[in-house]
Structure formats: structure tokens, C-alpha cells
Amino acid sequence: MPALTTATLPSLAGSLPVPTYDRSGVRAGIVHLGVGAFHRSHQALYVDRLLEQGTAQEWGFCGVGVLPSDRRMAEVMAAQDCLYTLVVRHPDGSAEARVVGSIVEYLLAPDDPEAVVEKMASETTRIVSLTVTEGGYNIAATTGEFDATDPDVVADLRPGAALRTSFGLVTEALVRRRDRGLPPFTVVSCDNIQHNGDVARGSFAAFATLRDPSLGEWVQREVAFPNSMVDRITPATTDEDRADVAARFGVEDGWPVVCEPFTQWVLEDRFPLGRPPLEEAGVQVVADVDPYERMKLRLLNAGHQALAYLGTLAGYRLVHDAAQDPLFQRLLLGYMEEEATPTLLPVPGIDLDAYRRQLLERFANPAIRDTLARLAFDGSERLTKWLLPVVRDNLARDGEVRRSAAVVAGWARYSEGVDEQGAPIEIADRRRERLTANARRQREEPLAFLADREVFGDLVDDERFTGPYLETLASLHERGARATLEALVGDPVR
């Protein structure tokens, strides 16, 4: 079976679509930091479509791995000439795939930070895009301030340091451009954060200010950070996925990507140095992304949080298994309709009822085999940024918070690190030690988990929230997740 490389593309063309454009003529006008599953199922595919249409030769990607853990990706990228297979899986079990060619270079920053900085500083780079996860912006959960105490950030501020962080690399590249009389590139965050462009601006400007206050002002003033909403459920690739790609499409790919059919990208049009004609590939280019972001983060991503912890406690491990359970469908629909939706802004062109129902179907897609563990990863960076804003908005308007409180109580119970059968739960969270220590005290001190003000702010002081929270937590301890949910969600799915 042929391994995926430029040389084998012609022989693969009979089994699946491969790039028909001349990749050697594609220039990397975009440097992307954080080439993981999502970048490869989403942004890289949109540009791949444009390359097929012949309208983006200046806009290929140079991928960058910022962390040492990106070494495996660097090896696969090197072995496969940056090519990979993207597999779209439908609920009926059918799948289609294509080989994506829009990433034309890849650099691993820990091996050669200077090469990464020079790539971004070069005149041909006009956009730097990011999928570095919610934690990648170093924003403290409750203060919303940049965390300058992070050891890697501190190291990157030392003159002459081998740069380790996105902040260090991007800022150094901006300084070089400024010194060379080149305009700054546009920075596009594609992470799941409300106002992701504004948050990126805040973090990069805060880091630049630590280097030199006038540099921080310059970043604030001169660098464009458009906001974006991005959506496509993309699980982590498994060995079964690799075997499936080999069996179905006859190609040996070291790191294919699997995703759902749905995809959406809503983007603000602030690109002083230009951009690819993304609307020709299906991107919605709008003046204000805020309503779209809010809708997606509060319905989809907070909905994922509702499945992650309570679903695991109820014995599920895969997202679709939990999402097909009528109890969870009622929980999700009730949360979305009665708690999240009243906190949304009007969303142009979107029928929210249809959107919610489509979400339930997307979650229930059995072909994706997404894991609850992926959704539960780093809950202190996710649940806090997606679900807690819904709670705070509802408390401000005297709205409903019962289901949100149950989800937080589910997270508290989950953080004890032992499931209802006594088996260990692996807590993967940067604040793991604190979270588990607090959770393990809560049988004696029921508010111990919620009292962590760095994570929850002053929610612990509001009885309208602590009331349903404590009730659910006690029920989870006494009766378990299923019985708790049965008592919580009454209405059948309409």
C-alpha cells in the first residue's frame, strides 16, 4: 500500500481526490501556530478548496509546532511532504476523503525558533493564525488578565532567550518587521474563545508591554486581530482511524484527520495586508462575529461540557452514546432552550430552533466516535469560559440556572477522580491537584469545590446558584447520575 507523499499522489488519485494544483507553486502567506486535528479539518481545507479553484496561490500555510509535544506531527509532516487525508464521516457509516495539500511547509519551534521567527518576519507572511487551545492565551479564569507568572513566559522575556511560547515568537517577529519597515501581519485566532481576536490582542499586547511598554502600545494600535467563530467537531485521530483510512482508501497515512460533515467559519473582515478570498470557499465574512461566537460557544461547547462530566459518571465514554440517551437529550435541550438561548444576541440568518436540533444530531453522530475524555480535558479553561458566562447572565436577569448548576455539580463530582463503580477517572486539567483536592473534601464541606474563587469568582456567594448546585451534588452522591438526571429533566424531547 502506498505511503502518502508527493511522489505517490498520482497512484492514489484513483482511490480518492488528491490536490490537482501545483503545490510547488504555492507560497506560504499564512503561518499557522498549533497544527492539530482542528486546523487540518477546517482552515486548511478552506484554503485547499481555494487552491483547487486557483485563487489562493499566495495563501498556503506554513505550519508551526510551538510545543515539544508537536515533534510527532513534525515527523509525519516531514515524511509526508505535509500532505494528509481528511475523512468526513456521515451518521450512516459512509465516508468520503480527500488529500489536503494547503500546508506546504512545517517548522518545529523547539528545534529552530529562529527559523519560525524569520518565517513570520518575512515579507511574504501576511497572516499568522492560531489554534493553540483556550489555555494558549494565558488568561487567568476570573481576572481575565494575562498570566505573566507562567515560567515559559518569564523565560521568553529574557534577552537572547531561545523562544518557547507563541507570545515570544510572534512578538519577536513583529519587532523585526517594525525594525525593517514592514507592516505587521494580521493575527487570526481560531480558538473557541468568546471574542477570540480581542483576547489574542490582549494577550499579545500584554506580553509585548512586558518587553517594552511602547511595543505593547504599538501592538494594540497597529496589529489587526479579527474575531472569528469556528466550528467542526474533530476528534483526536486513533489507530483505528489510520487502519480505516488504509482499508477504505488504500493509503498509508501516519496522521489522517477524521471529522463530521458540518463546518462553519464566521470571520470579521479586518485584514490590512489582505486575505484569501475565503467567502469563495464558504466562509461567512461579517462585520460582527459576536452573536455567532456566543451562540456556538454557549450552545455547542457548553453543551459538550454538559455531556462530558455527567455522561462519564453515567458510564458513557463516547459522545454519541451519551447524546443518544433521551435523558441527556432532555438535559441538553432544556439547557439550550431555557438557559443558554435567553442569553444570546439575535443571530443574523440563523433559526435557533433548527440550530439546536441540528446540534443534537451532530452530537449523536455514531461515526465520529468522539470521546467524553476529549471534551472533559482542561475543564477549568473550558467550562469556566463557556458555561459560567451563561450562569452569570442568567443570575443578572433572574433567569433559570438549574441545569447549568447540575453540570457544574457534575464536574465537581467527576473531579473526585472516581466513577460511580469505584473505577478511577483520569482528571486531565492544568489545575488538577487543586480541583481534585477540593472535590475530595466536598462530602464534608459541600461548597469546597465551588469556593475556589480563581475558578468560580463569586458564584459561591449566590444562593440562587448554590441552592440547585448543592441539591444536585447531594443527589449525585446519594443516588448517582442517572437518578439525578431523571429527577432534573422532566419534559420528553418534542
Ligand X SMILES: O=P(O)(O)OC[C@@H](O)[C@@H](O)[C@H](O)[C@H](O)CO
Ligand Y SMILES: NC(=O)c1ccc[n+]([C@@H]2O[C@H](COP(=O)([O-])OP(=O)(O)OC[C@H]3O[C@@H](n4cnc5c(N)ncnc54)[C@H](O)[C@@H]3O)[C@@H](O)[C@H]2O)c1
Instruction: Name the minimum Å distance from CB 231 to ligand X.
Output: 4
User: Residue 375 touches which of ligand X, ligand Y, none (CB < 5 to 8 A by kind)?
Assistant: ligand X
**Cα 363 to Cα 231: distance, rounded to the nearest angstrom:** 13
Residues that bind ligand Y (CB under 6 A): 34-39, 65-67, 69-70, 131-136, 166, 191-192, 230-234
Instruction: Name the minimum Å distance from CB 484 to ligand X.
Output: 23
User: Residue 166 touches which of ligand Y, ligand X, none (CB < 5 to 8 A by kind)?
Assistant: ligand Y
Query: Is the Cβ of residue 165 or residue 312 nearer to ligand Y in the bound state?
Result: 165
Between residue 175 and residue 234, which ones bind ligand X under the rule CB under 6 A? 192, 231-233
Query: Is the Cβ of residue 375 or residue 406 nearer to ligand X in the bound state?
Result: 375
Query: Is the Cβ of residue 24 or residue 69 nearer to ligand Y in the bound state?
Result: 69
The answer to whether 172 and 156 are in contact (CB under 8 A) is no
Instruction: Name the minimum Å distance from CB 102 to ligand X.
Output: 19
Query: Is the Cβ of residue 237 or residue 301 nearer to ligand X in the bound state?
Result: 301
Between residue 67 and residue 126, which ones bind ligand X under the rule CB under 6 A? none
Query: Is the Cβ of residue 152 or residue 400 nearer to ligand Y in the bound state?
Result: 152
Q: Give the number of other CB atoms < 10 A from CB of residue 354.
A: 9
The answer to whether 432 and 424 are in contact (CB under 8 A) is no
Number of residues that bind ligand X (CB under 6 A): 11
SS3 of the chain: helix, strand, coil, percent, to 5: 50, 10, 40
**Cα 434 to Cα 445: distance, rounded to the nearest angstrom:** 15
Using the rule CB under 6 A, which residue among 104, 223, 375, 485 binds ligand X? 375
Instruction: Name the minimum Å distance from CB 226 to ligand X.
Output: 18
Query: Is the Cβ of residue 169 or residue 409 nearer to ligand Y in the bound state?
Result: 169
Instruction: Name the minimum Å distance from CB 419 to ligand X.
Output: 21
DSSP 245: H
Torsion, Cα 135 263 351 385, to 10 degrees, reads 0
| Degrees, nearest 5: CA angle 48-270-86 | 20
Query: Is the Cβ of residue 139 or residue 412 nearer to ligand Y in the bound state?
Result: 139
The verdict on 37 binding ligand X (CB under 6 A) reads no
Using the rule CB under 6 A, which residue among 98, 201, 298, 304 binds ligand X? 304
Integer CA distances (angstroms), 105 to 21, 28, 80, 481, in order: 16, 7, 11, 48
Torsion, Cα 171 177 182 187, to 10 degrees, reads -20
Select the residue whose beta carbon is closest to ligand Y and give its number: 36
Query: Is the Cβ of residue 137 or residue 249 nearer to ligand Y in the bound state?
Result: 137
The answer to whether 68 and 110 are in contact (CB under 8 A) is yes
The answer to whether 252 and 246 are in contact (CB under 8 A) is yes
| Degrees, nearest 5: CA angle 294-298-304 | 140
**Residues sharing a CB contact under 8 Å with residue 15, sequence separation 6 or more, in sequence order:** 249, 250, 251
Which amino acid, 98?
A: R
Instruction: Name the minimum Å distance from CB 376 to ligand X.
Output: 9
Using the rule CB under 6 A, which residue among 138, 301, 436, 472 binds ligand X? 301
Select the residue whose beta carbon is closest to ligand X and give its number: 304
Instruction: Name the minimum Å distance from CB 438 to ligand Y.
Output: 24
**Cα 239 to Cα 258: distance, rounded to the nearest angstrom:** 12
Instruction: Name the minimum Å distance from CB 300 to ligand X.
Output: 6
Instruction: Name the minimum Å distance from CB 422 to ligand Y.
Output: 30
Query: Is the Cβ of residue 166 or residue 442 nearer to ligand X in the bound state?
Result: 166
Instruction: Name the minimum Å distance from CB 64 to ligand Y.
Output: 9
Query: Is the Cβ of residue 66 or residue 336 nearer to ligand Y in the bound state?
Result: 66
Of 56, 51, 6, 66, the C-alpha closest to 29 is 56
**Alpha helices by DSSP H, 387-462:** 388-396, 402-414, 432-441, 453-456
Q: By the criterion CB under 6 A, which residues form the site for ligand X?
A: 134, 192, 231-233, 300-301, 304, 375, 377, 382
